[in-house]
Amino acid sequence: MNKAFVKETNDDDAVSPMPEMPVGVRNYITPDGYHALQTELQHLLDVARPAALQADAESADMESAPEASLREIDTRIHYLQTRLETAEIVDASVHADGDQIFFGATVEYDNAAGERHRVTIVGLDELDPAQGRISWLSPLAQSLLGAHEGDAVSLETPAGDEELQVLTVRYPRSS
């Protein structure tokens, strides 16, 4: 078979998979999320990478663990640089006085069982479901986007449609 059609890798070329942006999707991010990625990138460049290089130099006769660590750091640096270059910062504070749900909103809602939930709609690189930070591409966010306080929206779930009642919509204030 022609080598042009065969992907050959060895351990030295292996790269840890990073989440890809879906094709045709814009890389929206909040100002806080953008700042967090910048801070992480700067830490990797100024602290983590030099420390890994030093450890690699000191353990040249030992196993390749520091090399693997350096590779992981370089992969993350490349990922962050790419994401920051394509990021479109969305300042949700422009909607601070509104009650309609847009990117960056923190929404409190009740589900059909009467359970209260709070989520903030953020970019893919800001996800933290345990903290209620959900992607604007998620089914829940897609159901909420465009709704207003007091609206009922329908969320399509594997068990069928579920009605959600939007209670509050809040936005960060500009700094």
- Work out the average pLDDT over 69-94: 95
Band the pLDDT of 66: cuts 50, 70, 90.
low
pLDDT tens track for 96-136: 999 999 999 999 999 999 999 999 999 999 999 999 999 99
Residue 30 clears pLDDT 90, i.e. is over it: yes
Q: Which residues pair with 165 in a beta bridge?
A: 110, 152
Report pLDDT for 55.
Answer: 82
HEC string of 24-62 equals CCCEEECHHHHHHHHHHHHHHHHHHHHHHHHHHHHCCCC
The larger pLDDT score, comparing residue 17 to residue 30, is at 30
Residue 140 clears pLDDT 50, i.e. is over it: yes
Distance CA 16, CA 76 (A): 9
- Work out the average pLDDT over 9-38: 76
Q: In b/e form, how buried is each residue of 40-75, taking b as 16+ CB within 10 angstroms?
A: bbeebeeebbeebeeebeeeeeeeeebbebbbebee
- Work out the average pLDDT over 18-33: 87
DSSP-based three-state secondary structure for 13: coil
Report pLDDT for 46.
Answer: 95
Residue 54, Cα to own-chain centre: how many angstroms? 31
Report pLDDT for 163.
Answer: 97
Band the pLDDT of 62: cuts 50, 70, 90.
low
Distance CA 42, CA 7 (A): 33
CA angle 121, 91, 102 (to 5 degrees): 40
The larger pLDDT score, comparing residue 65 to residue 97, is at 97
Contacts of 145 (CB under 8 A, 6+ apart): 101, 102, 103, 121, 136
Report pLDDT for 47.
Answer: 93
pTM: 0.80
Distance CA 74, CA 53 (A): 11
DSSP-based three-state secondary structure for 164: strand
Contact criterion met (CB below 8 Å) for 140 and 127: no
Residue 25 clears pLDDT 80, i.e. is over it: yes
